[in-house]
Amino acid sequence: MTEALSIKSWAEADRPREKLLKQGKNTLTDSELLALLIRSGSREETAVALARRILGTTSNDLTALARLSVKELSRFKGMGDVKAISIVAALELGRRRREAEALKKSKISSSADAASIFQPLLADLTHEEFWILMLDRANQVISQFNLSKGGTAGTVVDPKIIFKTAIENNASGIILCHNHPSGNNTPSDADLRLTKNLKQSGELLEIKVLDHIIIAGSAYYSFADEGTI
């Protein structure tokens, strides 16, 4: 059997839709789930083959897939705006679900807790953003604040706005966070200097800078875990 054959000619147990209904959603591969969103292929390839081809360009990284725009997805042969919109919408729903689940964790006990809040917000972005998470004395989350948005190589950080926002929210501690769209989670020299300066400023105001998280796709770097804060 070749890939060009219609999915309808496959054994029923191998068809993504029937497989999901009879065996459950967890049994489907990423390409099979994506094929369900694509719905139909072409004479040259099935929807599953098209899904594999799209995923292949992102090294099968769903985070990288989520960064593709409708226009970029539509460039694949066999795709169009309607199919591309379905994929973008489904991935956005998944991101919002992760964000909602992360916000339920009101207490921060580790860098992983903080990263789980920021990952849905920053992992898919193609530009840099800087956020702060404000905590009370029990490390319960008070609020989160988007300080700035920049380009692919950096964003502006104003310490006065950071601590003004923290004071206005009666925060006892803050966690800094920004993303690296490149996927490299290693802090730059500028990141290290900024973190050191903000920690020192926080000590004068009795607002602890507890950590600085760098989000890089599905990975992250914690200054606290690495002893660089």
What was the pLDDT predicted at 188? 95
Strand, helix or coil for residue 217: coil
pLDDT in tens, 49-100: 999 999 999 999 888 898 899 999 999 999 999 999 999 999 989 888 877 7
Pairing of strands 208-216, 141-149: unpaired
Q: Answer yes or no: are the C-beta atoms of 228 and 193 closer than 8 Å.
A: no
Supply the mean pLDDT for the chain: 90
Average pLDDT, integer, range 101-108 = 71
- Region 147-173 average pLDDT: 92
Residues 113 and 161 in one domain: yes
How many percent of the chain have pLDDT more than 70? Answer: 92
pLDDT of residue 64: 87
Going by pLDDT thresholds of 50, 70 and 90, the confidence category of residue 2 is: very low
Tokens of 47: 């929807």
**Based on the domain organization, do 222 and 173 belong to the same domain?**
yes
Q: What average pLDDT does the segment 180-184 reach?
A: 93
pLDDT tens digits, residue range 193-216? Answer: 999 999 999 999 999 999 999 999
- Per the structure, the complete domain to which residue 85 belongs is given by 7-98
Contact status, residue 164 vs residue 153, Cβ threshold 8 Å = no
Out of 65, 98, 131, a domain closes at 98
The pLDDT of residue 44 is: 84
- Asked if residue 178 lies in contact with residue 158, where contact means CB atoms within 8 angstroms, the answer is no
Q: Are residues 222 and 109 located together in one domain of the fold?
A: yes
Residue finishing a domain among 66, 98, 130: 98
Q: Do residues 189 and 205 both lie within one domain?
A: yes
Which long-range CB contacts under 8 A does 180-184 form with residues at least 24 apart? 180/128, 180/214, 180/215, 180/216, 181/125, 181/126, 181/127, 181/128, 181/152, 182/152, 182/216, 183/216, 183/217, 183/219, 184/216
Is 90 in the same domain as 14? yes
The enclosing domain of 162 has a CATH number of: 3.40.140.10
Task: Fill in the amino acid letter for 69.
Answer: S
- Specify the pLDDT at position 11: 55
Domain identity same for 119 and 88:
no
Q: Is 191 contained in some domain?
A: yes
1 within domain boundaries: no
Rounded to whole angstroms, the Cα distance separating 214 from 176 reads 9
Asked if residue 2 is part of any domain, the answer here is no
Question: 22 — phi, psi (to 5°)?
Answer: -95, -30
> 124 and 220, same structural domain?
yes
* Mean pLDDT confidence for 150-158: 86
Compute the radius of gyration of the chain from its Cα atoms. Answer: 22
94 lies in the same domain as 206: no
Given a cut of 60, whether residue 5 has pLDDT beyond it is no
The reply to whether 54 and 135 lie within a common domain is: no
pLDDT of residue 209: 97
- State which of 98, 115, 140 marks the end of a domain: 98
pLDDT surpasses 50 at 1: no
Instruction: Say how many domains are in the chain.
Output: 2
Query: In degrees to the nearest 10, what's the CA dihedral of 192, 197, 198, 201?
Result: 160
Q: Are residues 79 and 122 in the same domain?
A: no
What pLDDT was estimated at residue 187?
96
* Same-domain status, 80 and 27: yes
Q: Is residue 149 located within the same domain as residue 77?
A: no
